[in-house]
Amino acid sequence: MDQVMGLAGQNALVIFSNSSCCMCHSIKRLFIELGAHAIVYELDVDPRGKEMEKALVRLLGRRSPLPAVFIGGKLVGSTNEVMALQLNRNRALMTLLREAGAIWV
């Protein structure tokens, strides 16, 4: 858990992903289209990936925790939570990204 939180706090936007996951791909694509700079940890190719995935299961409280998105060192959640922020009329996702320094628009 400490390792995940440490990595998540080192950058404005951190995504824990699986390189073959379509939902992970969609979330990474969304942030690219928004102009956000993300640090992505592909857990299926990272030697520490299994350990980090177990920590994310505990943090998110679900069996399939990926993608797991952290903005400004805080856990935002997975696909549903990120998309809810993106679809929010107040542009909540963009606000979080700006405040964290992941975008400069």
> pLDDT tens digits for 25-82?
999 999 999 999 999 999 999 999 999 999 999 988 888 889 999 999 999 999 999 9
pLDDT at residue number 105: 61
pLDDT at residue number 61: 87
Whether 103 and 34 have beta carbons less than 8 Å apart is answered as: yes
> pLDDT tens digits for 37-47?
999 999 999 99
pLDDT at residue number 3: 84
Higher pLDDT, 21 or 2: 21
Instruction: Name which of 60, 6, 10 is nearest 38 in CA terms.
Output: 10
Q: What's CA 70's distance to the chain center, in Å?
A: 5
Domains of the chain: 2-100 (3.40.30.10)
